[in-house]
Amino acid sequence: MILTVTLNTALDITYRVPALRPDASHRVTEVTERPGGKGVNVARVLAALGHEVTVTGFTGGLTGRLLRERLTGIPGLTDALLPVSGTTRRTTAVVDERSGTTTQLNEPGPVVSPAEWHAFQEVYEDLLKGVSAVALCGSLPPGVPVGAYAGLIRTARAAKVPVLLDTSGAPLRRGIAGRPDIVKPNAEELAELTGSHEPLTATQDARRRGAGAVVASLGPQGLLAVTPQGRWRAAPPARLRGNPTGAGDSLVAGLLSGLVTNLPWPDRLVRAVALSAATVMAPVAGEFDRRAYEELLGRVVITGEVSAA
Amino acid sequence: MILTVTLNTALDITYRVPALRPDASHRVTEVTERPGGKGVNVARVLAALGHEVTVTGFTGGLTGRLLRERLTGIPGLTDALLPVSGTTRRTTAVVDERSGTTTQLNEPGPVVSPAEWHAFQEVYEDLLKGVSAVALCGSLPPGVPVGAYAGLIRTARAAKVPVLLDTSGAPLRRGIAGRPDIVKPNAEELAELTGSHEPLTATQDARRRGAGAVVASLGPQGLLAVTPQGRWRAAPPARLRGNPTGAGDSLVAGLLSGLVTNLPWPDRLVRAVALSAATVMAPVAGEFDRRAYEELLGRVVITGEVSAA
């Protein structure tokens, strides 16, 4: 069982419009809704790969009810979300059909009370008892202390559960001090954390700040991993065309899947890149193309060196 | 009792963002939700003026439930909405705080089945028995025939209930042939209907197409009314600053309020312009500023001529 934590779950709405023009009125031609928030997305990919996965975090209001309804019926996925008095946020992606660009509008999320945050930490500690890895994903809703992830990481470490952190800004900066086993920043998050725009320098710096391993996602360039076992670059065999929505979440799912099946680091990275690339190539945003994934597994380009023991 | 019909009700969502940039990600700083759709807005203004008003039309799904929850507790307003199996649409207004512009994203609405449309027509005929006026407002949801308003107008005329039509495009073109007592197009709708961009020519043409009276809303220039009793222009005393959202619905509410209290046409028009202007001036979109309304009643500029009997 893998556990994913999404403190700020979301109902992800996608609107297609012929062309988005500020200050104009638009008739939306297509509306799709799916349960979201990074940890929920990671869980859905893990479940599709055949893993048993539990999602926890907060959900509330009618939006939260809609989200939970959409989670039921996903084989292998267990809903352990906690109800809160506020309402789960909506995130709206407005896809401009002419240009192919996406404009994102994200609500801030419900205010979580101190009592709700306290209750979550108890549930989380219980859930850790039966899991082989935990991923802490995404932004913090209002009311949750900025150092929340550092605390959750320490609890996981005390329970001897390997922990992956995927967040940004202050929650990443504070969380990394809790010594997570893996962090997965993208280039922008890494630069914000370390002040360096040079990926290798920044990745090494992030590791010094407390992470066991740093896997930096560099968009079309694939990823750069600096780990206790060595450092590697892994990239898809060719430039991809498609929608990058959810590619980072699939990358996290690949890393977790490789971790719980005890793959060596290079194989974990190949799995992560193949899943991420297959997500970009899928027709539906955030899903992955299974045939592309299986084919890409043999074609990911990996280079690197193993550390001296 | 006044009846307003909103076949395509909506949950109106307003997002405030610091600046809307296509292809970028935005954190929404403020979210507000209110029950919407033109007829619902008209009803809310009528209720605030002290009229008894019933809203009917379709509503469904969780969005519909949210909408109905927000309608309860409005004094004077009775909810006679019919449930449908589809989900009530959301309309999202994205307000750019820097420029003050509003970008509108409107979902199409639930598909109404033939059985649901049939059921509505029976309920509508029953509701007409106790009312002094009816307003048919807004777009038609998918599944409702484009000639729907013409039929509803004929039913109202058979029941001797005066009927106001406020819609656009083909539903307006087809509806006007049913001979509504009043239509309230804006300049754009009027030009689309008649092919003329000259307001007086277009308004007179619209009347020839079957409307008893045409009240054209011309934005900051106020309104132009061509009626069996005469024709008038009415405008606010000065150029207004504010948010025009809902100004047209307040104008309709003013016309209905004047109609059911048997005001002569010039007084109805003054009430409509004052309400509309007080809506532009209100801090909350779609609400009206009561003090401004009362003050404007004495300051609306009206010019015109009474027809020879």
CA distance A105 to chain B (A): 5
Nearest Cα residue in chain B from A32 = B107
B147 lies in a domain? no
CB A127 within 8 A of CB A47: no
Q: What ipTM was reported for this prediction?
A: 0.81
CB B14 within 8 A of CB B47: no
A121 lies in a domain? yes
pLDDT of residue B60: 96
Residues of B in contact with A23 (CB under 8 A): 96, 99, 101-103
Q: Above 70 in pLDDT, residue B240?
A: yes
**Up-side HSE of residue B90: CA atoms within 13 Å toward CB?**
24
CB A296 within 8 A of CB A237: yes
C-beta neighbour count of B218 within 10 angstroms: 15
* Residue A73: exposure state from Cβ atoms within 10 A (0-12, 13-18, ≥19): exposed
Strands A102-106 and B25-27: parallel
Read off the pLDDT band of B309 (50, 70, 90). Answer: low
pLDDT of residue A116: 98
B218: which 2 tokens? 């011309």
CB A242 within 8 A of CB A280: yes
* Residue B263: exposure state from Cβ atoms within 10 A (0-12, 13-18, ≥19): middle
Q: Above 90 in pLDDT, residue B306?
A: no
Residues of A in contact with B94 (CB under 8 A): 105
Q: Dihedral of CA A170/A172/A173/A176: which sign? A: positive
Polymer length in residues for chain A = 309
Instruction: Summarize the confidence of residues B244-255 as an average pLDDT.
Output: 93
Residues of B in contact with A108 (CB under 8 A): 27-29, 31
B223 lies in a domain? no
A287: which 2 tokens? 């899903």
In this prediction, what percent of chain A has a pLDDT beyond 90?
Answer: 89
- C-alpha dist (Å) from residue A84 to A7, A9, A62, A65, B114: 11, 11, 11, 11, 40
Rg (CA), chain B: 19
Interface of B with A (CB under 8 A): 15, 17, 20-29, 31, 62, 65-66, 92, 94, 96, 99, 101-108
pLDDT of residue B266: 96
B300: which 2 tokens? 């609306």
A31 lies in a domain? no
- The gap between the terminal CA atoms of chain B, to the nearest Å, is 31
Residue A279 and residue A290: Cα distance in Å, rounded?
A: 9
Strands (E), B111-212: 133-137, 163-166, 182-183
Q: Which residue has the higher pLDDT, B32 or B58?
A: B58
A95: which 2 tokens? 């896809």
Cβ A27–B108 below 8 Å, yes or no? yes
Instruction: Summarize the confidence of residues B198-225 as an average pLDDT.
Output: 94
CA distance B298 to chain A (A): 34
A134: domain CATH number is: 3.40.1190.20
CA distance A22 to chain B (A): 5
Give the total number of structural domains in chain B. Answer: 1
Which member of B66, B99, B105 has the closest CB to residue A17?
B105
Helix (DSSP H) and strand (DSSP E) numbers for chain B: 10, 15
Residue A40 and residue A63: Cα distance in Å, rounded?
A: 15
Parent domain of A170: 2-7+36-88+110-306
Instruction: Summarize the confidence of residues B124-131 as an average pLDDT.
Output: 96
* DSSP conformation class of A24: S
Could you tell me which residues are beta bridge partners of residue A306?
A230
Three-state SS at A243: coil
Which member of B15, B24, B65 has the closest CB to residue A62?
B65
pLDDT of residue B308: 66
Residue B60 and residue B143: Cα distance in Å, rounded?
A: 14
Letter for the amino acid at A151? G
pLDDT of residue A243: 76
Residue B180 and residue B167: Cα distance in Å, rounded?
A: 12
Q: Dihedral of CA B106/A139/A168/A236: which sign? A: negative
B252: which 2 tokens? 């309709």
Query: What torsion, rounded to 10 degrees, do the Cα atoms B223, B229, B230, B236 define?
Result: -30
B38: which 2 tokens? 């033109």
Nearest Cα residue in chain B from A20 = B22
Determine which of A103, A140, A245 to mutate to test the interface with B (most B C-beta atoms within 10 Å): A103
- C-alpha dist (Å) from residue B110 to A20, A33, B22, B83: 23, 15, 28, 11
- Candidate from A4-18, A261-275, B82-96, B279-293 with smallest mean pLDDT: B279-293
Cβ A99–B26 below 8 Å, yes or no? no
Letter for the amino acid at B173? R
CA distance B217 to chain A (A): 18
How far out from the chain centre does Cα B1 lie?
A: 17
10-residue averages of pLDDT along chain A (309 residues): 97 94 94 94 96 98 92 95 96 92 92 97 97 97 96 98 97 97 96 94 95 94 95 92 86 98 96 95 84 95 83
The answer for residues whose C-beta is within 8 angstroms of residue A29's C-beta and 6 or more apart is: A16, A17, A18, A97, B108
Cβ A107–B25 below 8 Å, yes or no? no
Instruction: Summarize the confidence of residues B286-307 as an average pLDDT.
Output: 92
Cβ B104–A24 below 8 Å, yes or no? yes
Q: Which residue has the tokens 């082989």?
A: A132
Angle at A137 between CA A133 and CA A143, to 5 degrees: 125
Contacts A–B by Cβ distance under 8 A: 77
Residue B63 and residue A62: Cα distance in Å, rounded?
A: 8
A206 lies in a domain? yes
Tell me: the pLDDT tens digits for B133-192?
Answer: 999 999 999 999 999 999 999 999 999 999 999 999 999 999 999 999 999 999 999 999
DSSP H helices, A114-198, are 114-128, 148-158, 169-176, 187-194
A257 lies in a domain? yes
Residues of B assigned a catalytic role: 249
Three-state SS at B286: coil
Instruction: Summarize the confidence of residues B116-121 as an average pLDDT.
Output: 98
Residues of A in contact with B21 (CB under 8 A): 103
Q: Choosing from A96, A249, A267, A289, which is the catalytic residue?
A: A249
CB A156 within 8 A of CB A184: no
Which member of B65, B96, B108 has the closest CB to residue A22?
B96
Nearest Cα residue in chain B from A106 = B27
Q: Above 70 in pLDDT, residue B223?
A: yes
Residue B304 and residue B233: Cα distance in Å, rounded?
A: 6
- C-alpha dist (Å) from residue A258 to A51, A308, B32, B114: 11, 22, 43, 53
B82 lies in a domain? yes
Cβ A105–B15 below 8 Å, yes or no? yes
Residues of B in contact with A17 (CB under 8 A): 105
Angle at A158 between CA A152 and CA A161, to 5 degrees: 75
CB B223 within 8 A of CB B251: yes
Nearest to B149 by CA among B160, B137, B159, B161: B137
pLDDT of residue A176: 97
Active site residue A249: yes
Q: Which residues of A213-240 are buried (b: 16+ CB within 10 A; e: fewer)?
A: bbbbbeeeebbbbbbeeebbbbbbeeeb
Which member of B25, B96, B106 has the closest CB to residue A106?
B25
Instruction: Summarize the confidence of residues B219-227 as an average pLDDT.
Output: 93
A24 lies in a domain? no
Q: What is the enclosing helix (H) or strand (E) of B89?
A: strand B89-96
Nearest Cα residue in chain A from B95 = A23
Determine which of B105, B111, B168 to mutate to test the interface with A (most A C-beta atoms within 10 Å): B105
